[in-house]
Structure 1
Amino acid sequence: MRSRIVTLTVLAAVLAIGLFGLPLGIAVARYYLNDERAELERTAEATALAVAAELIRNQQPLLPPPTESDARLALYSQAGRLENGDGPAAADETVIAAQRGDLTTGTFRDELVVAVPVSDGGTVTGVVRAATAWTADGLMAAEFPEPRWAVPGIFSEGVNVLAGPPKVGKSWMSLGLALSVAAGDQALESIDVQPGPVLYLALEDTPRRLQTRMGKLLGGKPAPPGLTLATESPALPAGGDQAIAGWLERHRDARMVVLDVFAKIRGVPPAGMSAYDADYAAVSRAKRIADHYGVAMVLVHHVRKMGSEDFLAEVSGTNGIAGAADAVLVLKRGRNQADGVLNVTGRDVDEAEYALSFQATTGSWQLLDGPASDHTLHDTRATVLRFLRDNPGNGPTAIAAGTGINLASVKQTCRRMADDGQLRVMAGGKYSSADGST
Structure 2
Amino acid sequence: MSTTFPVIRVAEVPVTRQHRWLIRHLWSDQAVGIIGGPAKACKSWLGLEMAISVATGTDCLRQFPVETAGRVLIYMAEDALPTVRERIQALSRYRSIDLDSLPVYLIDTPSIRLDQNEHRARLSQTIKQLKPKLLLLDPLVRLHRTDENSAMEMARILGFLRELQRAYKMALVLVHHTSKKHHTHPGQALRGSSDIHAWTDSSLFVQKRGRNLVLTVEHRSAPAPETMIISLVQGAGNTATHLTVLRQGETLNQQRDSSLTNAIGELLKMATQPMTRDKIRKQLGVRNQSLGYALEDLEMKGIIRKTNTGWVSPEKAL
Tell me whether 1:149 sits opposite 2:21 in the alignment. Answer: yes
CA distance in structure 2 between the aligned counterparts of 1:289 and 1:147, rounded to whole angstroms:
21
Aligned to 1:355: 229
Letter of the structure 2 residue corresponding to residue 261 of structure 1:
P
Which aligned pairs between 1:343-422 and structure 2 lie closer than 5 A? Answer: 343-352=216-225, 353-361=227-235, 362-368=240-246, 370-371=248-249, 374-375=251-252, 377-378=254-255, 420=298
Letter of the structure 2 residue corresponding to residue 378 of structure 1:
Q
CA contact (8 A) 2:135 2:173 kept: yes
Q: Deviations over 1:356-404 (max 9, x none)?
A: 2322223322234641x523653766xxxxxxxxxxxxxxxxxxxxxxx
Q: Deviations over 1:84-129 (max 9, x none)?
A: xxxxxxxxxxxxxxxxxxxxxxxxxxxxxx4xxxxxxxxxxxxxx4
Tell me whether 1:293 sits opposite 2:168 in the alignment. Answer: yes
CA contact (8 A) 2:26 2:224 kept: no
From 178, 199, 222, the counterpart of 2:98: 222
Q: Deviations over 1:184-232 (max 9, x none)?
A: 1111111221320000101111022112212222226311431001253
Counterparts in 2 of 1:200 and 1:245: CA distance versus 1, 3 Å = same
TM-score (norm 2): 0.69
Counterparts in 2 of 1:288 and 1:183: CA distance versus 1, 3 Å = same
From 83, 86, 89, the counterpart of 1:209: 83
Counterparts in 2 of 1:225 and 1:280: CA distance versus 1, 3 Å = same
Aligned to 1:235: 113
Aligned to 2:135: 257
CA distance in structure 2 between the aligned counterparts of 1:421 and 1:374, rounded to whole angstroms:
20
Q: Deviations over 1:119-161 (max 9, x none)?
A: xxxxxxxxxx433xx8xxx435521556653212111223111
From 295, 299, 311, the counterpart of 2:186: 311
Residue 322 of structure 1: SS of its match in structure 2? Answer: helix
Tell me whether 1:245 sits opposite 2:245 in the alignment. Answer: no
Counterparts in 2 of 1:244 and 1:152: CA distance versus 1, 3 Å = farther
Query: Which structure 1 segments of 5+ residues have no match?
Result: 1-27, 29-41, 46-113, 115-128, 382-415, 424-438
1:295 CA displacement: 1.2
CA distance in structure 2 between the aligned counterparts of 1:153 and 1:204, rounded to whole angstroms:
29
CA contact (8 A) 1:158 1:297 kept: yes
Larger relative contact order (Cα-Cα within 8 Å, sequence gap ≥ 6): 2
Aligned to 2:39: 166
Aligned to 1:277: 152
1:171 CA displacement: 0.6
CA distance in structure 1 between the aligned counterparts of 2:149 and 2:243, rounded to whole angstroms:
37
Letter of the structure 2 residue corresponding to residue 196 of structure 1:
G
Aligned to 1:333: 208
Which aligned pairs between 1:170-185 and structure 2 lie closer than 5 A? Answer: 170-185=43-58
Letter of the structure 1 residue corresponding to residue 255 of structure 2:
H
CA contact (8 A) 1:160 1:299 kept: yes
CA distance in structure 1 between the aligned counterparts of 2:219 and 2:56, rounded to whole angstroms:
26
Counterparts in 2 of 1:420 and 1:212: CA distance versus 1, 3 Å = same
Tell me whether 1:322 sits opposite 2:173 in the alignment. Answer: no
CA distance in structure 2 between the aligned counterparts of 1:165 and 1:231, rounded to whole angstroms:
26
CA distance in structure 1 between the aligned counterparts of 2:154 and 2:253, rounded to whole angstroms:
33
Counterparts in 2 of 1:283 and 1:244: CA distance versus 1, 3 Å = same
Q: Deviations over 1:49-79 (max 9, x none)?
A: xxxxxxxxxxxxxxxxxxxxxxxxxxxxxxx
Residue 329 of structure 1: SS of its match in structure 2? Answer: strand
CA distance in structure 2 between the aligned counterparts of 1:295 and 1:217, rounded to whole angstroms:
23
Letter of the structure 1 residue corresponding to residue 86 of structure 2:
T
Query: Which structure 2 segments of 5+ residues have no match?
Result: 259-293, 302-318
Aligned length in residues = 253
Residue 216 of structure 1: SS of its match in structure 2? Answer: helix
Which aligned pairs between 1:131-150 and structure 2 lie closer than 5 A? Answer: 131=7, 138-139=9-10, 142-144=13-15, 148-150=20-22
CA contact (8 A) 2:228 2:252 kept: no
Counterparts in 2 of 1:259 and 1:154: CA distance versus 1, 3 Å = same
Residue 150 of structure 1: SS of its match in structure 2? Answer: strand
Residue 317 of structure 1: SS of its match in structure 2? Answer: coil
Aligned to 1:198: 72
Residue 144 of structure 2: SS of its match in structure 1? Answer: coil
